[in-house]
């Protein structure tokens, strides 16, 4: 089962690496979605997640998320990720901004997406020792 979870998460990040954030087929309808930052709180459901992503993505003309390393944690997958983009209006590029996420799955759907500033934080949240 956990290898299947890693495959699901790899497919999500494959889209995101191309800058395609349009699909939510991978998300459970009642997903809990949290991204780090000053407005960090849990968004409940696909619609709320979509609003959170739209707000985040609205700051960029171009944006992508590259999944670099995928750590199997049973029902969860920890992903080391790199953010890349170009600021809207400013045209200031961001490149190689690190982050991480824990995606928890049930029956092939992501039920929880938990963004982290560091891989260490994500691994600890998933119960994996660095």
Show me where the domains of the chain are located.
2-18+26-125
pLDDT at residue 130, as a whole number: 60
**pLDDT tens digits along 15-27:** 999 999 999 999 9
Does domain 2-18+26-125 fall under CATH 3.10.450.50? My reply is yes
**pLDDT tens digits along 55-108:** 888 889 999 999 999 999 999 999 999 999 999 989 999 888 999 999 999 999
Q: Cα dist. 126→75, 103, 107 in Å?
A: 9, 9, 18
Q: Rounded to an integer, what distance in angstroms lies between the CA atom of residue 8 and that of residue 89?
A: 34
Q: What is the token pair recorded at 59?
A: 């700051």
Do residues 91 and 61 touch, judged by C-beta distance below 8 A?
Answer: yes
């Amino acid at each position: 089962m956990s290898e299947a979870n890693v495959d699901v998460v790899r497919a999500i990040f494959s889209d995101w690496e191309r800058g395609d954030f349009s699909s939510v087929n991978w998300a459970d309808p009642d997903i809990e979605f949290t991204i780090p930052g000053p407005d960090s709180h849990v968004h409940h459901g696909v619609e709320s997640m979509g609003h959170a992503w739209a707000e985040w993505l609205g700051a960029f003309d171009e944006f992508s998320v590259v999944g670099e390393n995928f750590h199997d944690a049973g029902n969860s997958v920890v992903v080391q990720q790199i953010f890349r983009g170009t600021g809207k209006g400013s045209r200031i590029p961001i490149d190689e901004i690190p982050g991480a996420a824990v995606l928890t799955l049930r029956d092939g759907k992501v039920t929880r997406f938990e963004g982290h500033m560091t891989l260490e934080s994500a691994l600890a949240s998933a119960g994996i020792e660095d």
